[in-house]
Amino acid sequence: MPKLVFENIDGSEQIVEAPVGHSVMLCAVEANVEAILADCGGACSCATCHCYVEGGVFPDPDPIESQMLGLVEDLKPESRLSCQLDVTDEMDGLRIKLPASQG
């Protein structure tokens, strides 16, 4: 099973088992990653699952995700909503950084 590395703003890490097909958000919530609140449960309507992922790993955001990203604090080019990112085997070891605003 792939593992994801969640990196907090203070540099601390949490390594999480990530079943293929789960969203990155769900993996974080099940592992109690505190910075991923996911208030809407994955409906792409709260933006409290904001994270940073280097480009090219996931398909580009769809228009709804892009619109919601416009609402986040600490927006960066690599900003994504983790509820919209599905885990695949190729993501083993992927590092996901968490924004200060959710720390």
Q: Note whether 49 and 98 are within 8 A (CB).
A: no
Nearest distance in Å: CB 37, ligand FES: 8
Rank residues 43 and 100 by Cβ distance to ligand FES and give the closer one: 43
**46 near ligand FES (CB under 6 A):** yes
Instruction: Identify the residue among 4, 28, 38, 91 touching ligand FES (CB under 6 A).
Output: 38
- Residue 26 in contact with ligand FES, rule: CB under 6 A: no
Backbone angles phi and psi of 73, in degrees to 5: -80, 160
Using CA atoms, how far apart are residues 82 and 52, in angstroms rounded to an integer? 9
